[in-house]
Structure 1
Amino acid sequence: MNLHGLRLFYTIATTGSVTGAAALLTISQPAITAQVKRLEQELGVQLLQPAGRGIRLTSAGETIYEMATRLFAVERQIEQFCIESGQGTIGSISLAATYLPAHFLLPGWLARFKQQFEQIELTIHTTNSSDALRMLTDGQVDLAIYGGVTERETEWIQTEELFRDELWFVVSPEHHLANRHVSLAEMMAEPFIMREQGSSTRERLLSLCRTHNLPAPRIALQFNGLYEAIQAVIAGYGANFVSALIVRDEVKRGTLCRVYVDEVQLYNTIAVCLRKGETPRAAAGHFIDRIRHHIKQKDLLTN
């Protein structure tokens, strides 16, 4: 079907005359009339008929006008969708996040983002560091919010550091090392409660031991979640090596205490990860920009 001819017929029916349609479309009246005649021949029905000095729709013309109205309304919706999608005001974002940002940062970031971009759908996969980067490289997610170390960047992944947070050794207030300054060897003699293998912080602890030629600590309890591991330490058993962002409030309240290991000062990097050489879609770009803006407002960036 000749959609151009249908559009001319639709404009005639909307304006009520060939003259009005010609003025609106800046096309000559004879050209419009000829196109509509060809459309009628193609469809095998009469769409317009004379009515005094003007025209009116036939019964078939009225039906086809109603259908054309719906058709061109959908066309406008498609055009609007493409505009908004290109601008990043609608669409979807799928992201993977490690446990630290997923539990302590993303809820606030996502809430503020949705206030501005209500029509964007968000899917969040919370997992450990290894799986988050695997999902990114496999194309399962648009980006990853990663709590760990920037050395994990590969030929497939580029990272942008958002800010850094200290890594602390923590124990319960009743623990014999609570608030003490000790050597790393003394600290490593304690049983640890840690996350599962694949956790970035656990890998940092093991790397620290290798760097200082110390045996790996005994992982006495292992949990798949941060909350469970911290609660076990609060209950009075073992030690944890964890981002200060997670336990800062517990230390202030006195339900946890730091252990100061004099020769160790490590930081946890919070970063956004993308596939290298790939520009994020507009919606994902907006989300990353909002994160940057929030961190700048909160003065969390590390020089």
Structure 2
Amino acid sequence: MWEWNRLRALDALSRTGSVREAATLLGMSGPAVSQQLRRLEAEAGVKVVEPCGRGIRLTSEGEVLARYAGRVAALMQEADNAVHARDPLAGVVRIGAVASAVRTVLTTELADLRAAHPGVDVFVEDGEAVDHVRRLAEGHLDLVIAESWSPTPVRLPAGLTYRRLAREEAYIALPAGHPGHTRAEVDLRDLEGASWATCPAGSDPHVALTQIAHSRGVDVDVRFHVADHVTQIELVRAGLAVACVPASARRYASDDVTFLPLAEPLWRELVLATNRRGSSRAVLHLADRLARLGGD
């Protein structure tokens, strides 16, 4: 029969797509992973990997076996959780989140987690949803809090699931002296020619804004690519740009900035993504705490 370490190596390769990434995920060396795969092939009596360019890929038999390896990995995690159900929470939780979620959702929860469960080590990285979701699927992250904007909802790879934490309307931030600051709402056509501050090109907020602008026949002239909404508001306050920000960001503004709803509403959701392959007790505990914040 196949040993667990062999299946574990195959599962990691299936998730990451390379021996190097699989080795990083497992905390092993690349040669050690390759050795486990060769031994698995000898035990299974079939080829599970084959050359592909400078790397390798799964054979059709390898893909079949990898699906079972993933199920075994999930069961092994469930077994570990059950055996240690009475132990204090411990281990590592790796979180990917957009900056606004770190500021508004995570800060208090992580402080409470540290106080109640000092054996849990938490690592947080800021970034874009598309990168975080990929790293979650590969196993490099345990939880992801991602933005999902109404014109372009976030897409999750197979094997991931999500719960909604919050839903909020987006507003246009204008300098207080802007000609349109006294209106009840903003039509993007009224901002033709304005300089914009928005998230990096290709990010979900940037794509959502440009899509809704194009639907109104407007091109968005982005002069400032800044991932953090609070920094975007500061650029607006200085009179350098206008910006589209979620409602929660308004709390960080001064009297020098006016927030108006869009004539064609735009919405942002914060979603909590997890991996169906199985999570540690510490990850499940934090995920449940965060989900309760969203009323899930």
Which secondary structure does the structure 1 equivalent of 2:176 belong to? coil
Which secondary structure does the structure 1 equivalent of 2:260 belong to? strand
Q: How does 1:45-56 map to 2 (within 5 A)?
A: none
- Counterpart for residue 284 of structure 1: 283
- Counterpart for residue 49 of structure 1: none
Which secondary structure does the structure 1 equivalent of 2:279 belong to? coil
Cα distance change on mapping 1:188 and 1:146 into 2, 3 Å: farther
The TM-score normalised by the length of structure 2 is 0.64
Q: CA deviation at 1:194?
A: 1.2
Q: Deviations over 1:209-240 (max 9, x none)?
A: 24x25233100222243333221111112210
How many Å separate the matches in 1 of 2:176 and 2:186? 16
1:247 aligns with 2:250: yes
Amino acid at match of 1:171: L
- Larger Rg, first or second structure (1 or 2): 1
The TM-score normalised by the length of structure 1 is 0.63
How many Å separate the matches in 2 of 1:88 and 1:94? 18
Over the residues paired in the alignment, what is the CA RMSD in angstroms? 2.6
Q: Deviations over 1:7-42 (max 9, x none)?
A: xxxxxxxxxxxxxxxxxxxxxxxxxxxxxxxxxxxx
What is the aligned residue count? Answer: 213
How many Å separate the matches in 2 of 1:152 and 1:258? 29
Q: CA deviation at 1:131?
A: 1.7
1:165 aligns with 2:164: no
1:107 aligns with 2:110: no
Q: CA deviation at 1:105?
A: 2.0
Q: CA deviation at 1:121?
A: 0.4
How many Å separate the matches in 2 of 1:132 and 1:117? 25
How many Å separate the matches in 2 of 1:182 and 1:227? 20
Q: Percent identity?
A: 17
1:185 to 165, 172, 189: 189
How many Å separate the matches in 1 of 2:135 and 2:191? 35
1:196 aligns with 2:200: yes
Q: How does 1:124-139 map to 2 (within 5 A)?
A: 124-139=124-139
1:214 aligns with 2:206: no
Which secondary structure does the structure 2 equivalent of 1:141 belong to? coil
Cα distance change on mapping 1:281 and 1:156 into 2, 3 Å: same
Kept after mapping to 2: 8 A contact 1:99/1:128:
no
Q: CA deviation at 1:290?
A: 1.4
Q: CA deviation at 1:202?
A: 1.2
Which secondary structure does the structure 1 equivalent of 2:89 belong to? coil
Kept after mapping to 2: 8 A contact 1:88/1:281:
no
How many Å separate the matches in 2 of 1:177 and 1:88? 57
Amino acid at match of 2:163: E
- Counterpart for residue 6 of structure 2: none
How many Å separate the matches in 2 of 1:115 and 1:288? 17
- Counterpart for residue 209 of structure 2: 205
Amino acid at match of 2:237: I
Which secondary structure does the structure 2 equivalent of 1:178 belong to? coil
2:177 to 150, 164, 174: 174
The range that moved more, 90-99 or 217-226, is 217-226
Structure 1 residues without counterparts, runs of 5 or longer? 1-80
Q: Deviations over 1:89-147 (max 9, x none)?
A: 11110111112202322111211222222210001111122222222122211110112
- Counterpart for residue 256 of structure 1: 257
- Counterpart for residue 13 of structure 1: none
Q: Deviations over 1:167-199 (max 9, x none)?
A: 111112122221423423113442211121243
How many Å separate the matches in 1 of 2:192 and 2:251? 22
Structure 2 residues without counterparts, runs of 5 or longer? 1-80
Q: CA deviation at 1:153?
A: 2.6
